[in-house]
Amino acid sequence: MNRKHEPTLCFPDAEKSCFACCPPIRTAGYEHIQYKNIIKRILRENTRAFAGRKQGISPITGYSCWALGYLDKEYRLVGCLLHPSRNKGEELRYRIDYGEKCKRESCIESKIFMTLSIKERKFWLHLADGFDSFSYSSATINPLFHIMGWGPSLLRLIAMNEDLNSFSKEFFFCKYIFFHTSLNPRANAYLINQILKKNNLHLLKSESFLRKFEVFSEKLSEQISKAARQTDDAPYTHLLDLDHLFLNFLRLSAGLAKINKDEACRLKDIVDQDIQQFKKTVRDEDEIISPGRPALYPQIETTEVKCL
């Protein structure tokens, strides 16, 4: 945990930590939890050996880093034994091959997490209540890695809507059906952030909205992919000076890795118009679920899930 006890995604509390990105070079799809018992033994050995280890540079061998160990006596927190926070402020990660990479890099999710207020961070950390460091470090088990991709505005809106009250992971996913989607959050964050506002967050609890959104997202992504005029000398999409959520949509949803700014702006107009159209159909649906109002479009089925 950091010194001020401000939660980060890497060090959320005294029960667990994330060590998913250690060491920085790993095979695709690798997760420490797949080899939990072996890794636990290695971590104990690393921690014991670290104190007696000679100073000097010693490269990482294979996919295991000798500086990854336990940070507490209870063997709950896993982290870097060369980190300045462990060494009276002295940066010792130069002692491995990837030292610069270790210092420089952090995952996108941890950066998004840090844009939230401390109260909002604590709110979202309830999704990982009860996890140990191995489950917490697993992107397939820890929903925070997925949820962060929807972007800070939506995360803030939900936290406000829940008055920052604590909740269980089960309760959250039962209530907010939308997050059952298999859509890539970062690819779709622009669309959902354009649709949702403080007064229509209830749509996230509607199964029919989720289905409609998934169809909308898929069709729009195909449409934009086909409509795009690309040239070989265009700059990389993510480097353009435009809304980065929209650029993520272009790259990750429509598959446009390179594009000129003018063309990106033209496509944005198309996307924004389609979003406005989609919002109208959602408003129609909203009429049906508003209590006490006549069903204007009874052919659209809406399911609200009640969570105890």
> Which spans of this chain sit near ligand SF4 (rule: CB under 6 A)?
9-10, 18-24, 65, 67-68, 80, 82, 93, 96, 98, 102, 106-107, 109-110
**What's the rounded Cα separation, in Å, for the pair 24 and 165?**
36
CB of 118 to ligand SF4, least distance (A): 17
Token pair of 151 as six digits: 């972007």
Q: Between the CA of residue 116 and those of 76, 112, 251, 265, what are the distances in Å? A: 26, 7, 25, 29
CB of 142 to ligand SF4, least distance (A): 9
Strands 78-80 and 68-70: antiparallel
Contact 182, 213 (CB under 8 A): no
**Nearest to 201, CA basis, from 233, 218, 178:** 178
**What's the rounded Cα separation, in Å, for the pair 32 and 42?**
11
CB of 22 to ligand SF4, least distance (A): 3
Closer to ligand SF4 by Cβ: residue 91 or 287? 91
Closer to ligand SF4 by Cβ: residue 101 or 238? 101
**Nearest to 226, CA basis, from 246, 245, 188, 254:** 254
**What's the rounded Cα separation, in Å, for the pair 176 and 303?**
12
**What's the rounded Cα separation, in Å, for the pair 244 and 33?**
33
List 163's β-bridge partners, or say none. Answer: none
**What's the rounded Cα separation, in Å, for the pair 247 and 236?**
10
- Report the greatest alpha carbon distance in the chain: 77
CB of 192 to ligand SF4, least distance (A): 23
CB of 77 to ligand SF4, least distance (A): 12
Closer to ligand SF4 by Cβ: residue 144 or 158? 144
CB of 121 to ligand SF4, least distance (A): 12
Closer to ligand SF4 by Cβ: residue 32 or 251? 32
Closer to ligand SF4 by Cβ: residue 23 or 185? 23
Closer to ligand SF4 by Cβ: residue 137 or 194? 137
Neighbour tally for 82: CB within 10 Å: 22
Residue type (1 letter), 246: F
CB of 136 to ligand SF4, least distance (A): 8
Closer to ligand SF4 by Cβ: residue 9 or 289? 9
CB of 66 to ligand SF4, least distance (A): 7
Token pair of 21 as six digits: 């990105």
Closer to ligand SF4 by Cβ: residue 77 or 102? 102
